[in-house]
Amino acid sequence: MRIGVFDSGIGGLTVLKELVRKYPKNQYFYFGDNKNMPYGSKSKKELLNLSSNIVDFLISKNVDILVIACGTLSSNVYEELKNKYNLPIYDIISPTIKYINDNYKKVGLIATKMTVQSKVFEKKISNICSQACPLFVPIIENNNFNELNSAMDEYFMNISKDIEALILGCTHYPILTDYIKPYFPNTELINMGKVLADNIEIKNSIDKSVRLYFSKVDHTLIENVNKILDFDYQLEEVNAWITRSRNS
Ligand code: DGL
């Protein structure tokens, strides 16, 4: 199967990694729009524009299904994308909501500003406290962790410590697991990519290949990708379509 996976940058690689672990024999096409990140503070209109360009690009690669490996896009434009395109599209949030309601009574959520504002988790999970963490994505993408501790001190102060699970509601956040865990030693950290991979049904086919497309390729990106992925990939920079859409 040809599977399209996309995000604002490297965060969705945490989802891709889980999909490849569970369904290795497939052809994966990943798009990370790191030139335009962070998505977490963009308007719904901007998010729809950017994600439509990405979907058009992935459809041009003849993908059979699409996975929105981004909490911000899943919480803000999933319905619009589903209505606009005629192929199966999976969001990253729905499986996590079901998993939480089946297993936990009191949880926390950390996510981007746009995800928290959408209240997509709060509408379906009764006992949940949420906190936006807008500095996390730029810290991760720029691979510059100098301000991480002060940001975590500030954000985590607002989250009750007696939660059973903490939803990492942005796909970038599993990259910070080792930093977040000491703040919540007795709490399960929920990786949405793992929940999705454990719940989605994809048939393994014969070939395996992983192609990564990013809107900006530089040394930092390659370093970041190699920290996350433990399998071979092909990498290409793609940005022509972004310029085109801006001028149209
Ligand atoms: N990985 C995206 C998410 O899950 C990050 C959004 C951003 O670029 O701010 O929300």
Ramachandran angles phi, psi of 73, nearest 5°? -70, -40
Q: What is the pLDDT of residue 247?
A: 44
The residues annotated as belonging to the active site are 70, 170
Task: Output the DSSP codes for 10-49.
Answer: STTHHHHHHHHHH--SSEEEEEE-TTS---TTS-HHHHHH
SS3 130: strand
202-220 tens-digit pLDDT: 988 888 899 999 999 999 9
pLDDT of the residue at 244? 47
* Range 29-39 average pLDDT: 97
User: pLDDT category, 30, cuts 50, 70, 90?
Assistant: very high
Residue 197 CA neighbour count, 13 Å, CB half: 22
pLDDT per residue as tens digits for the range 70-117: 999 999 999 999 999 999 999 999 999 999 999 999 999 999 999 999
In angstroms, rounded to a whole number, what is the distance separating the alpha carbons of residues 34 and 138?
10
Indicate the range of 23-27, 176-180, 237-241 predicted with least confidence. Answer: 237-241
Query: How much distance in Å is there from the Cα of 74 to the middle of ligand 1?
Result: 10
* Residue-level pLDDT at 240: 60
pLDDT at 131 over 60: yes
Any ligand 1 atom below 6 A from CB of 140: no
**Ligand 1 mean position to 59 CA, how many Å?**
22
Q: Answer yes or no: is the C-beta of 76 below 6 A from any ligand 1 atom.
A: no
C-alpha of residue 171 to centroid of ligand 1, in Å = 6
Evaluate: CB of 72 within 6 angstroms of ligand 1.
yes
